A and B are shown apart, each in its own frame.
Chain A
Amino acid sequence: AQTVTQSQPEMSVQEAETVTLSCTYDTSESDYYLFWYKQPPSRQMILVIRQEAYKQQNATENRFSVNFQKAAKSFSLKISDSQLGDAAMYFCAYGGAGNMLTFGGGTRLMVKP
Chain B
Amino acid sequence: NAGVTQTPKFQVLKTGQSMTLQCAQDMNHEYMSWYRQDPGMGLRLIHYSVGAGITDQGEVPNGYNVSRSTTEDFPLRLLSAAPSQTSVYFCASSYDPSRVYEQYFGPGTRLTVT
Chain A residues near B (Cβ < 8 Å): 4, 6, 9, 33, 35, 42-45, 47, 50, 91, 93, 95, 99-106
| B75: Cβ under 8 A from any A Cβ | no
* Complex contact B101–A95 (CB within 8 A): yes
Chain B residues near A (Cβ < 8 Å): 31, 33, 40-45, 48, 50, 56, 58-59, 88, 90, 92, 97, 100-103, 105, 107-108
Instruction: Quote the shortest CB–CB distance from A17 to chain B (angstroms).
Output: 26
Which chain B residues lie closer than 8 Å to A44 at the CB level?
A: 105, 107-108
Taking a contact as CB atoms closer than 8 A, the residue among B42, B45, B97 that contacts A106 in the complex is B42
* Complex contact A103–B42 (CB within 8 A): yes
Instruction: Quote the shortest CB–CB distance from A91 to chain B (angstroms).
Output: 5
Bound: A24/B102 CA distance, A = 21
* Complex contact B43–A100 (CB within 8 A): no
Which chain A residues lie closer than 8 Å to B48 at the CB level?
A: 99-100
